[in-house]
Chain A
Amino acid sequence: MPPIVLCSACDVVQKKASLRRRERARCVRCGAELYRAGPVSIDVPIALALTALVLLALTDSFPLVTLKLNGTSRTATLVDAALGLYQQGYAPMALLVAVTTMIVPGLEIGLLLYLLVPLRLGHRPAGFARLFRILGAIRPWGMVEVFMLGTLVALVKLSALAEIVTSTALWSCALLMFNLSALTTVTSTEHFWTWAQGADVR
Chain B
Amino acid sequence: MKRFATGQERGLLLCTRCGKISPAFQSPRALCPRCAAPVSFRKPQSLARSSALVLAAAILYLPANLLPVMHTSTIFGDEEDTIMSGVLALLHSGSWPLAALVFFASIFVPMMKLIAMSLLIVSVYRGSSKHTRQRALLFRLVEFIGRWSMLDVYVIALLVALVQIQSLASIRVGAGAFAFGAVVVLTMCAAQSFDERLIWDRQVKDE
Contact = CB atoms under 8 A, between A and B. Distances in A.
Contacts of B4: 12-13, 28-29
B37 A6 contact: no
B88 interface: no
Nearest to A154: B158
Interface string A91-131: 01110110011000000000000000000000000000110
B91 interface: no
B168 A72 contact: yes
Contacts of A82: 157
Nearest to B90: A157
A175 interface: no
Contact of B14 (A8, A32, A64): A8
Contact of A6 (B14, B153, B155): B14
Interface size class of chain B, counting residues whose CB lies under 8 Å from the partner chain: 35 or more
Contacts of B154: 81, 97, 101, 146-147, 149-151, 154
Interface string B95-129: 10010011000000000000000000000000000
B150 A129 contact: no
Contact of B199 (A5, A10, A64, A150): A10
Residue from A93, A147, A153 whose CB has the most chain B CB atoms within 10 Å: A153
Contact of A67 (B6, B151, B162, B185): B162
Interface in B58-103: 89-90, 93, 95, 98, 101-102
A29 B199 CA distance: 12
Given A97-B153, A153-B102, A146 B160 contact: no
Given A93-B153, A130-B36, A81 B158 contact: yes
Contact of A9 (B20, B177, B197): B197
Interface in B27-70: 34-37, 41
A93 B181 contact: yes
B interface, over-half SS = helix
Given A6-B14, A93-B181, A133-B17, A149 B151 contact: yes
A100 B185 CA distance: 11
Nearest to B19: A189
Contacts of B133: 30-31
A62 B173 CA distance: 24
Contact of B35 (A12, A32, A65, A132): A132
A64 B14 CA distance: 43
Contacts of B199: 10
A178 interface: no
A201 interface: no
B17 A74 contact: no
Contacts of A32: 136, 140
Interface in A1-39: 4-6, 8-13, 28-32
B178 A13 contact: no
Interface in B149-184: 150-166, 168-169, 172-173, 177-178, 181
20 contacts: A6-B21, A10-B196, A32-B140, A69-B168, A69-B169, A70-B165, A82-B157, A93-B177, A94-B157, A133-B35, A136-B17, A143-B147, A149-B148, A151-B154, A154-B162, A156-B98, A157-B89, A189-B17, A189-B18, A190-B19
Given A96-B181, A133-B17, A193-B18, 9 more contacts: A4-B12, A8-B16, A30-B136, A74-B165, A93-B181, A133-B18, A143-B147, A150-B153, A157-B90
